[in-house]
Structure 1
Amino acid sequence: MTAQRITVITAVHPPSAPFLSDAYTSLLEQELPAGWDWQWVIQEDGETDDVARHVPEDRRISFGQGRKGRAAMARTLGLSRAEGRFVKVLDADDMLTPGALARDLAALTDDPTIGWATCRALDYLPDGSTAGFADPPEGPLERGVVLQHWREHHYLAQVHPATLCVRRDLLLALGGWMALPASEDTGLLLALNAVSRGWFSAETGLLYRKWPGQVTSAPAHSDGVERAARFAVAEARARALASMAGWRFEGPQAARRGRARP
């Protein structure tokens, strides 16, 4: 019997490519429910000779390259090779914890009205120590609550977008990641929550590596003018989606009964 798949998608550029081995090890440690397997789509942001040699040899891995356009473009191009019903984000320099994929699958398969899932993340510091955040209780996240929290807490969401696992059809319907130089994953999270319920797992599912070469540590990431523009368009998109009464994700069961809205 052909296994059902969850697609893990990773954007990578040369500075982060050496960390792919750690990400791969974390994938090998995942134990999935019977009948499930993972596919790893690795998409280089660019077309260099510096990434491919770091890609492990595994039939479940699909490696591709494309014109340089930052993480949003790389991930969205990688979607062309995604075979799974669900798509899990894994940045090249991060690591999943054991059980992370199984918990995502449980959240998304147990309740068909849940469109996406997130989990607790810990910063993984250069000395090997970790640091946590103030997390919400485990359970569903109703439509609109992420945008509300984000606005009320200085543009910090209560869940980490780097932990996202989402139904592939819903991800495609929203156009993938926002075409932004950064915060593209936050923009997608806000859009998803505008049209669908989500889930938060309180068990740690991601180690978010902090290192000097990461994109979010660059000065340009904190540029006030660009940051304001990124956040303004991300919020406007989420509010526009929320205002369209006919644009709601109601789950596969509703679609089969003919009650899904466009």
Structure 2
Amino acid sequence: MRKLISVVTPVHGPSIPYLADSYESLRAQEMPDGWSWEWLVQEDGRTGDVEAALPQDSRVLGATGKAGGPGVARNMAMARSRGSLLRVLDADDQLTPGALAREIEVLSSRPDIGWTTSSVLDLMPDGSTVSWQHADPAGGRLDRAEVLSYFHDNGYRLPVHPATLCIRRDLSLALGGWMALPGGEDTGLLLAASVVADGYFIDEPGLLYRKHPGQITAQADWTATAEWQLRMQLIESRAIALRSLLLPSAA
């Protein structure tokens, strides 16, 4: 594939007003020599409201599809992608300056690394930014299964933010893309990737993670005990099964 990074964005109604800011953060990225980006914006549904809100830019590729949740929307966007790398960008978030260049530099120079994540700043409703309320790991390599161990030992919390994931497209395809879950599908892909390939943590902020009342993770049923527990158990079980297939002695 050519030197192209595919930015994947699923969208549902409440996030449409934030698309313009997401686009501006993407348009402002300074790309490494020979590299370009495409933005795969996938509506979770067929209203057409998302495509109507997109800018006139040949690099922006919108589409609609049968509603199935963010995991399905992400996978349908991946199906249209042409880049060797996939970068997550939720519709209400923004890239920081240099984010894509830093991720491309790691993945293009380190064939031993399958994916990257980065530090995050929370973007508050008043426009201010605050550090993510979580201790970041040290910058550098994240060894295989390191993320799974943390997830298991810390009440199904990740040591890194899944909304910053940049992953080799072939690796994502081999893992089946994002999990078909009502939430946590990005955690599922990150955890699965982490037991199959070493990752890399970039300790410079790569994302402004917007806090607003309409975001999915702000809804009351996001962490509803029974369903959330089942989702996390399934995410962990898949990662453990993958690890046991690759490293039978770890089962």
Q: How does 1:222-241 map to 2 (within 5 A)?
A: 222-241=223-242
Match of 2:17 in 1: 18
CA contact (8 A) 1:3 1:37 kept: no
CA contact (8 A) 2:48 2:64 kept: no
Q: What is the TM-score normalised by the length of structure 1? A: 0.91
CA contact (8 A) 1:23 1:92 kept: yes
Q: Are 1:47 and 2:82 counterparts?
A: no
Letter of the 2:225 partner, please give it: G
Deviation, 1:49, is 3.3
Letter of the 1:194 partner, please give it: V
- After superposition, the C-alpha distances for 1:155-181 in whole angstroms (9 at most, x for unaligned) are 211110000000000000000000000
RMSD: 1.3
Q: How does 1:33-182 map to 2 (within 5 A)?
A: 33-132=32-131, 133-182=134-183
Letter of the 1:62 partner, please give it: L
Match of 1:252 in 2: none
Structure 1 window deviating more from structure 2 (225-234 vs 49-58): it is: 49-58
Letter of the 2:130 partner, please give it: A
Aligned residues with identical type, % of pairs: 50
Deviation, 1:125, is 0.9
Taking the aligned partners of 1:39 and 1:189, their CA distance within structure 2 comes to 22
Q: What is the TM-score normalised by the length of structure 2? A: 0.95
Taking the aligned partners of 2:241 and 2:20, their CA distance within structure 1 comes to 40
- After superposition, the C-alpha distances for 1:82-119 in whole angstroms (9 at most, x for unaligned) are 01000000000000001000000011111101000000
Letter of the 1:145 partner, please give it: E
Deviation, 1:54, is 1.0
Letter of the 1:85 partner, please give it: S
- After superposition, the C-alpha distances for 1:187-223 in whole angstroms (9 at most, x for unaligned) are 1111000111000000000000010000111111110
Aligned residues: 246
Letter of the 1:196 partner, please give it: A
- After superposition, the C-alpha distances for 1:58-83 in whole angstroms (9 at most, x for unaligned) are 00111111011110000101111101
Aligned to 1:220, what secondary structure does the other structure show? coil
Deviation, 1:246, is 7.0
Aligned to 2:246, what secondary structure does the other structure show? coil
Aligned to 1:131, what secondary structure does the other structure show? strand
Taking the aligned partners of 1:204 and 1:242, their CA distance within structure 2 comes to 30
Taking the aligned partners of 2:106 and 2:217, their CA distance within structure 1 comes to 29
Structure 1 gaps of 5+ residues are 248-262
Deviation, 1:238, is 0.1
Taking the aligned partners of 2:50 and 2:43, their CA distance within structure 1 comes to 7
CA contact (8 A) 2:87 2:167 kept: yes
